[in-house]
Structure 1
Amino acid sequence: MSSPSDMTLDSIFSTYFWMSVIFHLSLAMSVVVVYDWVLSLPRELRLFWAGNARSLSAWLYFANRYIALFSEAGQLLVFVPWSAKGCTRILLATGIPTAISMLAQAAFHGLRTFALSQSWCLSIAVFALTCMPFAAALMDFGYHFTGAQVVDPIFHGCIPRLDYPLSLAHTFTILNRVCAIVADASLIILTWRSLHQHVSHVMTEKGLMGVFLRNGMIYFVALLILNILLLIVFQQPTLHARVTGDPASPTLSPISSILVSHFMLDLQEAYQRSSDIQVWDDSLCTSQHVISSGLIFVPALGSIAAHIDAPHLDTPVAETDSSAYVLGGTTRPL
């Protein structure tokens, strides 16, 4: 039979192990985000800075990429010795952008939902679900958010101190991960439902539709798996007595930012490569459409806000004039 001292020792070792995992994972994520940005910069310059990316696509990409980049680059500073006030300022300077970056990712989830379902109600619901981590992050700043310098064998740097009820923290961790899992699962289901009769064709297509569905499926399946894993990890009993707030959201946010950024780069590359783009003068039209492999684009959203006309995927695009275009035998005015 184990003695109380043995049980206490096991608890201490387990706590140190999981805290070490969290701290080193945070450092690794910061390095990965910066490294990924450096590798992706030439492609970004070609597609978004020098290319013909639409306004909302570009701004959404920049918000998702650079807010997260600023936040994660700043996270490297928490490992530098600071005073108590310096720790608080550094943590606020990195924590606020991290929370804001979650909004950009939520907006992308909402737009992709609308692209797949053509339903504002469903897209707003997914947007609201993916906004839950943002709301939880804002609550952290309302519980006497301060920073403290810690010198520990497994960690040396600034950590946040919150007057946060542990029961509330655990509830928010579960709620945030469940909402994210539901949102990601909804997007995966919508993707398969939209093209259940054309999977074999689209999964090998190199055009815009193939990128939109195939790559989107891969990225959102990855996010779904990560959300499930984080939900399991952060429910470890040894973490309940040590961790305040929702540690899962700041951990997943940089990974989500990288995946969404690459998905948007893939979309933009396919969008600009498409040979079926039809452009009308903005001064004459209140809206313009891009037709490519059955996808229809609103100009402000560019390669983001598409909707899929599934029944006519195999129907060629008809001739287009200055006042209307025909898709699958249906004439639609501009």
Structure 2
Amino acid sequence: MSSNAVAVSPEEMSSLLTSGFCVCAVFAWLAYDWLLCFGEEIQLVWNWNSRRTGASLVYALSRYMLLLQNLLAVTSIVPMSTLRCAPYCPFMFLCASLMAELSCNAVAWMQTVTAVIGTFAPGIFSAMRAYALSGGNKYLSALAALLAIGPIVAQLVSSIQYQAVKNFPSPFNCSTVDRASPSLDWTFTLAQRVPWIASDALVLATTWWFAYQSYRMQTGGIHGQSLSS
């Protein structure tokens, strides 16, 4: 048996295979959906005659960061090298880029970067929605944006401080090891979920309030100031 081989039980192998199939299935579904809608995307989002807006940025982040993140997850299934450059390589940047294509460290951190960048999309959308529904209230928009920053900060701290990238022997290959305690993991989970829930609740309350204000104006008038005044 090879010195790099690892003894794996049938249950562990079954779990690894199932995880790999699920990762590939998710990427295949996302890629199929992207190809299916690519014509409409070019026509409606990336048309040269149309003006780029915040909605275009939200679409790009939510669509392509998720697609790229799952593509990187697929590549991490196969064995990888470490990110090292051969000393005899005359062009160091070229050598590094070639090695990075199959590097466990590079792929794992690219997954983290794409996940963090993709997290901006819900925050931008919430801020834009609060701004539009409130008639241009900058305070509500800023509050929604600030609440959306919490999950990004928590994810960055968790990834940088408490996650280690390990290039294990086959069949485990490239993996991320969580070094945080269960209680700390729970804290990071709360730090990511609670601000998102609060941001969504703020947008929902704004939607209901201004819809109610509009209904009152249509059915008999409204007295006093609104939230956007």
Common fold, TM-score beyond 0.5?
Answer: yes
Structure 2 CA distance for aligned equivalents of residues 175 and 119 of structure 1: 26
Q: 1:80 to 1:23 in 2, by over 3 A?
A: closer
- The alpha carbon displacement at 1:187 in A equals 1.9
**Percent identity at matched positions?**
25
Query: Which residue of 1 is the match for residue 164 of structure 2?
Result: 145
Secondary structure at 2:166's aligned position in 1?
Answer: strand
Match of 1:41 among 28, 38, 42: 38
- How many residue pairs were aligned? 187
Q: Deviations over 1:278-332 (max 9, x none)?
A: xxxxxxxxxxxxxxxxxxxxxxxxxxxxxxxx8479xxxxxxxxxxxxxxxxxxx
TM-score (norm 1): 0.47
Cα distance between partner residues in 1 of 2:34 and 2:72: 15
Q: 1:167 to 1:39 in 2, by over 3 A?
A: same
- Residue 141 (structure 1) shift: 1.8
Q: Determine the C-alpha separation between the residues in 1 that align with 2:196 and 2:17.
A: 25
Structure 1 residue matching 2:168: 3-state secondary structure: strand
One-letter amino acid of the counterpart of residue 59, structure 1: L
Q: Aligned letter for 2:165?
A: T
CA distance in 2, matches of 1:17, 1:196: 54
Q: Matches of residues 243-322 of structure 1 in structure 2 within 5 Å?
A: 311=217
Where in structure 2 are there 5+ consecutive unaligned residues? 1-10, 84-102, 220-229
Could you tell me how far apart the structure 2 residues matched to 1:62 and 1:134 are?
A: 18
Using a 3 Å threshold, how does the CA distance of structure 1 residues 26 and 113 change in structure 2: closer, same or farther?
Answer: farther
Distance in structure 1 (CA, Å) of the matches to 2:126 and 2:19: 26
Q: What pairs up with 1:210-225 in 2 under 5 angstroms?
A: none
Question: 2:161 & 2:60 partners in 1: Cα distance?
Answer: 28
Equivalent position of 1:161 in the other structure: 177
Q: Which residue of structure 2 lines up, in the alignment, with residue 188 of structure 1?
A: 204
Paired residue type of 1:82: M
**1:62 aligned onto 2:80:** no
Aligned residue number for residue 73 of structure 1: 71
Distance 1:145 1:312, change over 3 A: farther
Distance 2:20 2:129 in 1: 33
Deviation at 1:21? 8.5
Compare the two structures and name the one with the higher helix fraction: 2
Q: Aligned equivalents of 1:73 and 1:163: distance in 2? A: 25
In the alignment, does 2:132 pair up with 1:115?
yes
TM-score (normalizing by structure 2): 0.66
Computed over aligned residues only, the root mean square deviation of the Cα atoms, in angstroms, reads 3.4
- Please state how far the C-alpha of 1:17 moved relative to its aligned partner: 11
Note if 1:126 corresponds to 2:147.
no
C-alpha separation between the residues in 1 aligned to 2:212 and 2:37? 33
